[in-house]
A and B are shown apart, each in its own frame.
Chain A
Amino acid sequence: MEDLVERGVGTREQRDTARTTAAALDAVVGANRAAVQNAKVQLQYATIRAPISGRTGALMVNAGNLVRANDQLPLVVINQVSPIYVSFGIPEATLPDLRRYMAQRDLEVQAAPPNENVAPAVGRITFARSTARSS
């Protein structure tokens, strides 16, 4: 373009117009690329995958229903059960011992279902809430 202007074939105005047109078309290409990307993402949303491994709860919706984006009611709830937490309270009288031994090392916890003769699962205390519970 510069060359054509220097040789007097084209005017500076024509050069500027051509430049502007090229920039505008570049922008259109960019916008279309973005639209394609967006469409791809939207399409991916049609396939809903499990975000974590775990056990599913009750199914809240059946095939054929219309589901809404970000609806209040989830389609299903997944609980991660491995590893798992067991929460329990201890008598207040044992609290000083717990504090003392927890400071020294990780304390072992054995958990087993009631009335079943199975080997208890072994875990450790990850967190001790400091509040008392009335009951």
Chain B
Amino acid sequence: MPLEVTVVGTVEAFSTVAVRAQVTGELKAVNFRQGDDVQAGQVLFTLDPRPLEPR
């Protein structure tokens, strides 16, 4: 006879990552919609690269 306990639980993310910019610049494009499932490595944001390009 197995012992069974029924309780209410809370679902929690396995891990949570806050995405931040590593350089300052104008946000040119957002390449996903909020709530989308994304894959690691997928491009999420594109900043204006011009100020970062070597002169």
A66→B25 contact, CB < 8 A: yes
Is there contact, CB below 8 Å, between B38 and A70? no
Return chain A residues, CB-CB under 8 Å to B39.
50, 53
Complexed CA–CA distance, A35 and B23 (Å): 17
A118 within 8 A of B: no
Closest to A36 in B: B54
In the complex the two chains form, is A63's CB within 8 Å of B29's CB?
Answer: yes
Residue A97 at the B interface, CB < 8 A?
Answer: yes
Assess whether A43 is in contact with B53, with CB atoms less than 8 Å apart: yes
Asked if A67 contacts B14 (CB within 8 A), the reply is: no
B16 CB contacts on chain A under 8 angstroms: 77-80
Chain B interface residue count, CB cutoff 8 Å, equals: 47
Let me know if A70 and B18 touch, CB within 8 A: no
What total count of A-B pairs have CB within 8 Å? 179
Nearest chain B CB to A12 CB, angstrom units? 41
> Judging by beta carbons under 8 Å apart, are A91 and B5 in contact?
yes
With contact pairs A79-B13, A88-B8 given, residues A70 and B40 touching in the complex (Cβ less than 8 Å): no
Name the contact of A55 in the complex, choosing from B8, B23, B26, B37 (C-beta under 8 A): B37
Name the residue of chain A whose CB is nearest to the CB of B47.
A46
Q: Which residues of B contact A97 (CB under 8 A)?
A: 3
Q: Is the beta-carbon distance between B47 and A50 smaller than 8 angstroms?
A: no
Residues of chain B lying within 8 A (CB to CB) of residue A74: 18-20
24 contacts between A and B (CB under 8 A): A43-B52, A46-B25, A46-B46, A47-B46, A49-B43, A56-B36, A61-B30, A65-B27, A66-B26, A67-B27, A69-B24, A70-B21, A75-B20, A75-B21, A75-B44, A77-B19, A79-B14, A79-B15, A80-B14, A83-B14, A84-B11, A84-B12, A85-B13, A88-B9
